[in-house]
Amino acid sequence: MYQMDLQRAERSMRDRRVDEAEDICQSVLTERPDHVWALRLMAEIRLLQSRSSEASEFVEQALALDSSDPKLFNIRGRVRNNHDELDTAENDFRQALELDPQFADAYCNLGHILRRKGYEEAAEQNFRKALARDPEHGRANLNLGTILYVQGQIEAAIRHLERGLKEEMTDRPGRYNLAIALHQLGRLDEAVHNYRQVIANGMNDADAYSNLAAALQSMGDLDGAASGFETALQIDPKHGPAIAGLAGLLELADDNERALALLTPYLQRGLATATVHVAYARILRRTGQIKEAIVHLAPLAKETNLPPEQASLVHFTLGDLLDDIDEYDRAFAHYRRANELKGSRYLPAGREREVERIMQVFGKDTLPGLLHIPRKADSPVLIVGMPRSGTSLIEQVLATHPKIHGAGELRDFGLMALKLGRNEKNIAYPECMNDIDEDFLRECSGTYLERLERGDRSALRVTDKMWQNFEHLGLVELVMPRARVIHCRRDPIDTGLSCYQQSFGIAGPPFACDLAHIAHYFGQYRRLMDHWSEVSSLQITEVFYEDFVADMEGETRRILQFLELDWDPACLDFHENPRMVRTASHAQVRKPIYTSSVGRARHYRTHLAPLIDALRDGGYLDD
């Protein structure tokens, strides 16, 4: 008799029209106080309204009438979970599963209880059982995604978090975890979008604003970053990452005096976190006070209760300081500890498969068939290579030329690849390129050109120094066949050591924490660049770092000729260029050309066996 009414109530609950659902159920219970379905729905409604005691009354009434309904045990377990009655809640969920072994929600709730009790492995198994029965289960996807993130399986975590948020769109913890995971993978546009959604949904949290600011800074939005850090400090005046973040912005602007003025009061009051101490030591280093910085920071390296990410940053900074005073063995000990604390997320076999797939799609026989979108734009100049291979230096020199605008690291091609892989046919990138929508490609490339033109409309060339674009040269050729590519190369041992010595931040490359992994990634990068040299018709020139620092003027003239631009002596004064450099090389490009970084791995050679042996096995060393 009441079936249609209660079905309508359930639809109202799914649409979050809880008041409407309650009115229907109350109307039914007025006439039939013993109607189990209506009692169960009222229990669920009271749970949604955070009225657990009333929910308990309704579910107990229903269970007294029907003890064979698994949904009632599931609801009572949720009520008991809210009251921290974990053992009895677990029993309820297990009873629900005895009655219905296919009950996905009960598996998810049981996993939640087991996780609260510290049984992570068992919890994960139950979340997976829930998803085996309902792949779109929102809470199970969010919970499994969180577990996978903690395990360091970042890409898998993102997939489950994104799927979970399709069903649980307003879940703030899930949205925040997704933002952090995206940030860690360097998918900054998406991370910023999710940080902003979390904040818009009411998360007034200093960490959220500080993380948003850090992502904006990585994207080059320094004003937005400053605003985010300042808002974090309004929420929590002692928030270490925000204090350090503002000091870092001042350091980028070479305003060391103001940075010290910002940091000193916190140090004097004893309020400083490890990140603030590191920021202070970095400013001391910039002002030539190396020994003072070491003395200030060394005690923190002995702390045993620092979070791993903060401890890692302390050790990286001490490594740099000791390197400055030629204490190479002590410096390497700190670099090694810093990287151990970060942990490697690099999967060599997975990387080999990625490169193989790119080479198969953009092959000698297939690439010409893909080139069916003519473009007239010829301003982009992509500067690619391994990180720490001289890309920042080359861009800074070129950006000093009056006809060249330096746009910094743009992530458009990486994002374009992600978007292309999210197609209606569910064909991943790069395989989706075999059946691609031309209009969508035009749209993507048009957005990129607009971004390039924002800086200086009078420039004839615009540089994009996203080093990782070497992966996407097939896509570049497809949408911008007249783009030019500068391939930066450097001695592989020097390159590997320099990667190992950099903290890179939350979104750093996953291979940089392990010397053997650095060598493996280097081999895959060279494999791909060799492939492009065979199959691509893009204009590509190579610049060797060692040659460039030995003959900067001659090499710069050669590069400008490649770019079809006249020589301009302003390029020799690149270190006086006021443009902001936002990468790890920002301090180096403020100095005149120097050669001390050439062959600097000799100071650490006794520690670099894993790197050297792997490079030699790959055929990348001459000795």
Of the candidate ranges 338-352, 361-375, 384-398, 494-508, the one whose mean pLDDT is the lowest: 361-375
pLDDT exceeds 80 at position 423: no
Both tokens of residue 107?
A: 């598996």
Model pLDDT for residues 245-289, shown as the tens digit of each residue? 999 999 888 899 999 999 988 887 677 789 999 999 999 999 999
pLDDT band, very low/low/confident/very high, at 230 (cuts 50, 70, 90): very high
| pLDDT score at 592 | 56
Angle at which helices 240-252 and 222-235 cross, to 10° = 150
pLDDT exceeds 90 at position 313: yes
pLDDT band, very low/low/confident/very high, at 376 (cuts 50, 70, 90): low
Model pLDDT for residues 131-170, shown as the tens digit of each residue? 999 999 999 999 999 999 988 788 899 999 999 999 888 8
pLDDT exceeds 80 at position 377: no
Whether residue 266 contacts residue 241, with contact meaning beta carbons closer than 8 Å, is answered with no
Model pLDDT for residues 47-87, shown as the tens digit of each residue? 888 898 889 999 999 999 999 999 999 999 999 999 999 99
- For the residues 590-605, what does the mean pLDDT come to? 77
| pLDDT score at 362 | 93
End-to-end CA distance of the chain: 88
Annotate 270-281 with b (16+ C-beta within 10 A) or e (fewer): eebbbbbbbbbb
| pLDDT score at 587 | 45
Query: Which residues have CB under 8 Å from 117's CB, separation 6+?
Result: 86, 90
Residue with token string 């390159």: 495
Model pLDDT for residues 525-537, shown as the tens digit of each residue? 999 999 999 999 9
Please choose, from the candidates 311, 191, 326, the residue with its C-alpha nearest in 3D space to the C-alpha of residue 603.
Answer: 326
pLDDT exceeds 90 at position 364: no
pLDDT exceeds 50 at position 369: yes
pLDDT band, very low/low/confident/very high, at 425 (cuts 50, 70, 90): confident
pLDDT band, very low/low/confident/very high, at 506 (cuts 50, 70, 90): confident
3-state secondary structure of 620: coil
Model pLDDT for residues 163-179, shown as the tens digit of each residue? 999 988 889 999 999 99
| Residue that wins the pLDDT comparison between 479 and 491 | 491
Write down the CATH superfamily of domain 348-617. Answer: P-loop containing nucleotide triphosphate hydrolases (3.40.50.300)
CATH of domain 170-236: 1.25.40.10
Compute CA distances 527 → 358, 361, 363, 470, whole Å: 11, 15, 13, 11
Mean confidence (pLDDT) of the chain: 89
| pLDDT score at 6 | 86
pLDDT exceeds 60 at position 430: yes
What is the number of other CB atoms lying within 10 angstroms of the CB of residue 372?
10
Model pLDDT for residues 17-30, shown as the tens digit of each residue? 888 888 888 888 89
| pLDDT score at 589 | 44
Identical fold for domains 170-236 and 348-617, yes or no, is no
pLDDT exceeds 90 at position 454: no
pTM for this one? 0.78
- R_g (Cα) of the chain, nearest Å: 29
Domain ranges of the chain: 170-236, 348-617
Q: In terms of DSSP H, where are the helices of 362-467?
A: 367-370, 391-399, 412-420, 438-453
Query: In degrees, to the nearest 5, what angle opens at C-alpha 48 toward C-alphas 42 and 52?
Result: 75
Q: Can you spell out the DSSP letters for 266-331?
A: HHHTT---HHHHHHHHHHHHHTT-HHHHHHHHHHHHT-SSS-HHHHHHHHHHHHHHHHHTT-HHHH
Both tokens of residue 521?
A: 């990634």
pLDDT band, very low/low/confident/very high, at 547 (cuts 50, 70, 90): very high
- For the residues 372-392, what does the mean pLDDT come to? 82
pLDDT band, very low/low/confident/very high, at 191 (cuts 50, 70, 90): very high
User: Would you call the peptide bond into 430 cis, given omega within 30 degrees of 0 as the criterion?
Assistant: yes
| pLDDT score at 590 | 43
The rounded distance, in Å, linking the Cα atoms of 48 and 17 is: 11
pLDDT band, very low/low/confident/very high, at 185 (cuts 50, 70, 90): confident
Model pLDDT for residues 325-360, shown as the tens digit of each residue? 999 999 999 999 999 998 888 889 999 999 999 999
The rounded distance, in Å, linking the Cα atoms of 163 and 150 is: 18
- For the residues 408-436, what does the mean pLDDT come to? 83
